[in-house]
Structure 1
Amino acid sequence: MAIRNFSVIAAACENFGIGVNNKLPWRLKNEMNYFTRITSSTQDNSKRNVVIMGKNTWLSIPEKYRPLEGRINFVVSRSIKDKPDKLDGLFKDLQTALEAASSSDKVENIFIIGGEQVYRESLNFPECHKIYLTIIDAKFDCDTFFPKFDEQLFKEIDELGVSKEIQEENGLKYTFHVYERQK
């Protein structure tokens, strides 16, 4: 089964930290709105986007926000045996989840939304086409990290609808970056 191009989306602080104790170390409402807009927007109103995440990312989403609204939610886990009711798909590995998302004609875009292990694995797929990375201009004590990636392979691009301006919220500055895999 062919895998379609997909994107990775994350927010990380200066040391590439993305979480601590299975929680985000910051509260940035506007950054979260950006995440929702990017992962929810489709050109074709009859289609939806898939968000693929690991078990810990799924469990870190407050229950009242699970599943992520307006998106098809897939979880990759070897330890969850039975699919939770609210979940659209449960898969033993990332390859199978990507194949399932790629095979549906109801899916427009596929996004990997965490955590560390799923990000690391996804960056090795040749179909990993874009990285949407918010960089927070601060250091946080984290126990999970966004993997370093080859900036020769993934070049930063300007993307319509993604601001290059420095954002500021709750005393924190951050910037949005989009990287695209070079052929």
Structure 2
Amino acid sequence: MSRVLNCIVAVCPDGGIGYKGDLPWHPTRLNNEFKHFRRLTVTRTPGAEDKQNVVIMGRKTWNSIPEKNRPLNDRINIVLSRQLEAPPSGAHHLARDLPSALRLLDGPEGLLADQVWLIGGSSMYSEVMETPCPRRLFVTRILKQFPSDTFFPDISPAQFRLLPEYPGVSSELQEENGIQYRFQVYQSLDP
């Protein structure tokens, strides 16, 4: 089965997605942006109410989530790590790499999985950008620059097109705590 791989990310103008193990704008909270992330990653396809969505993340992304919020509720949490021998406390599964995580979904666990969401970090995003399969990028464009040490790869117009609209995703300018941002959705040009 060819699954759509959904990436979700919030980026600064220079592509920054992290700084010292946290979001670049930390400690400022963007609660509505978090609600957007949660709504998208939890909402299942109509008719798949008996399944759960999957969130796949690298070990550093897992560690950046406050312990009280791990695992991400109502989602199957898969952590990628070549160093760990067992899933971190609270995670549902451990995989060595993205292909291994996707193979988990084709086994018995696959019967319980609806949508697949890749939530970070940088190397996983880079790998997905080059994976020949249907992909969607849900990008929150933070319209203010913050110091960053981790970056999202460039989105190639030869591989992705910006959709003019997407169901359930606002095209209006958002603002919280003096920070403006916009939601965008890109679709891969794969056949």
Q: In which range does the TM-score fall when normalised by the shorter chain? A: over 0.9
Q: Which runs of 4+ in 1 moved over 4 A?
A: none
- Determine the C-alpha separation between the residues in 2 that align with 1:102 and 1:13: 35
CA deviations on 1:81-134 (whole Å, 9 max, x unpaired) are 222231111011111101212441211100100010111111111124100000
Query: Within the alignment, does 1:23 sit opposite 2:22 as a pair?
Result: yes
SS of match in other structure, 1:53: strand
Q: What's the offset of the Cα at 1:168?
A: 0.4
1:165-176 matches, within 5 Å, as: 165-176=172-183
SS of match in other structure, 2:186: strand
SS of match in other structure, 2:111: coil
- Determine the C-alpha separation between the residues in 1 that align with 2:87 and 2:139: 30
Aligned to 1:47: 51
Instruction: Please report the RMSD computed on the Cα atoms of aligned residues, expressed in angstroms.
Output: 1.2
Q: In structure 1, what residue type is equivalent to 2:188?
A: R
SS of match in other structure, 2:105: helix
Q: In structure 1, what residue type is equivalent to 2:116?
A: I
CA deviations on 1:32-61 (whole Å, 9 max, x unpaired) are 100000000012211110000000000000
Query: Within the alignment, does 1:56 sit opposite 2:63 as a pair?
Result: no
TM-score by length of 2: 0.91
Query: Within the alignment, does 1:65 sit opposite 2:64 as a pair?
Result: no
Given candidates 101, 114, 125, the residue that maps to 1:108 is 114
Aligned to 2:103: 99
Aligned to 2:93: 89
- The question of whether the paired residues in 1 share the 8 Å contact of 2:2 and 2:134 is answered with no
SS of match in other structure, 2:41: helix
Moved more, 98-107 or 86-95: 98-107
- Determine the C-alpha separation between the residues in 2 that align with 1:114 and 1:128: 18
Given candidates 18, 32, 35, the residue that maps to 1:33 is 35
Q: Which runs of 5+ in 2 are unaligned?
A: none
The share of aligned pairs that are identical, in percent, is 41
Aligned to 1:129: 135
